[in-house]
Structure 1
Amino acid sequence: MITARREAWTGRVLLVLLMAITILPFLSLFVTALHPSGTYPPGLSWPGEPQWGNFLKAFQAARMGELLKSSTLIVLGVVPIALVIATMAGFAIGHLRTAGRNVVFIAFVLGLTLPFEGIITPLYYQVRDMGLLNTRWAIILPLIGLFMPFSVFWMRAHFVNMPAELSESARIDGANTWQLFWRVHVPLAMPAISSLAILLFLWTWNQFLLAIVLVDDPLKRTMSGALGAFQGQWGTDIPLLCAGSLLILAPTLVIFVIFQRRFVTALLQGSLKG
């Protein structure tokens, strides 16, 4: 009994420390953003007169409204297409008894080992030859392909644990493969699909490398990619730079807080199936 209590308290202490380490950088950004523009705040000191107008100034200076529109268009171009392709591929590899499915699955697993940094140079020349440089398609199309290995792996992990009897019963009732997929398995896969959608949204919204390499116009990048141009313009104004960084981080934090329960539920369901 004493050992169990000790382990419980140890776990709580570690969680508190981890939470403090996680929150501290955001707290530092927030406090620094409230200092007068052009100053160099000393650590985590609360300003005598908080400058809440720094957030409005950063929003206007970085043209956040246009950046929100650009990021939204990129997310809408990446996430739905990636979800459809990954769900269909995961169903084919994980549930259907198709020839060569293991070979295809191994190829996708190998794709998980490719870092973005390792393929950025050939990707640049390929996008240039396609005439897509400095367009949002230069971000959308590569991201769909780069997200496929993990997305297919994620969806395959769900479909591989679905009972074969479920499909056999549907086929006895006259369902073909297409109806089996859309009417039976997709509704059951919604927890896995929704959690994957959250991950793809976060990764797309926070995409930095492809945005700054393949797109010159900051207003056609993601919000994170446009941060580089904002930093170059306001790099000496630390409070304004911190305010802009928080504004860029805000949408991802809001999305994660809203959907965190659904995301955790999908992870727990996957662990129970496994």
Structure 2
Amino acid sequence: MSRTRAARALAFALATAAPVPVAAETLVAALSRDRVSIESNFTGTEVTVFGTIEADPNDPPRPRGWDVVVSLTGPRRAVVVRRKEPVAGLWINRESLVIADVPLFAAVASTLPLDRVTDAATAARLGLGRAGFAGTVTEAADARTAAFRLALHRLQSSNGRWAEQPTGVTFLGRRLFSATLPIPADVPIGPYRARVTLFADGRPLADQTLDLIVAKSGFEQGVADLATHRPILYGLLAVAMALVTGWLGGVLFRRD
């Protein structure tokens, strides 16, 4: 009987005890635009990600505050990385490695350098920074695959396709933040995804994803659609245009 009473007393105490307060922050973020139109005079643009952190006012404050990481990636493709070696005075492709799920464009901005926001394993798992940009390979990870991944990162960074801004996220107040990501003139067309991740003490607390479309518009889009959906008509028009251009050139520059 005493054991039964003790069990009931313990159950009652647990049921009536006040719950331990647990911080539960959430993110509310948005893009300055959800579509980037590529026209003949396109020279690049910018996309701003802005948002706010919502937290229960009764939650204890974070002693070290929050960190925010914003990434923009897309479109993803399989990429072949080749290594050239000199043979008889000529540089020839020798070894190669296929890396899948590689973003053709990637930009990441953060409140602090990424290695000060979280550890490398967490960043790789969330697809942030160099580790998150490098895609996947079917071969075992070794010095060879690491060298190819490093070469891919070097090539993409040199042409502006991969960019990191260690202090690119700015807090405009205690909870309001923004980040501006540059879009180069030769940005690949296709679907993109922006991801906003909230950190505290190195741990991810919340994240939100936003979609962005980069597409051709105007005359360029019409030509692309014609070539894709009506290739025979596109070919006939191209041949006809070439014939007309050649005939006009002959008439204008005819020597009597």
Same fold (TM over 0.5): no
Give 1 or 2 for the bigger CA radius of gyration: 2
TM-score, normalization: structure 1?
Answer: 0.23
Pick the structure with more strand per residue.
Answer: 2
The alignment's TM-score, normalised by the length of structure 2, stands at 0.24
Report which of the two has the higher share of helix.
Answer: 1
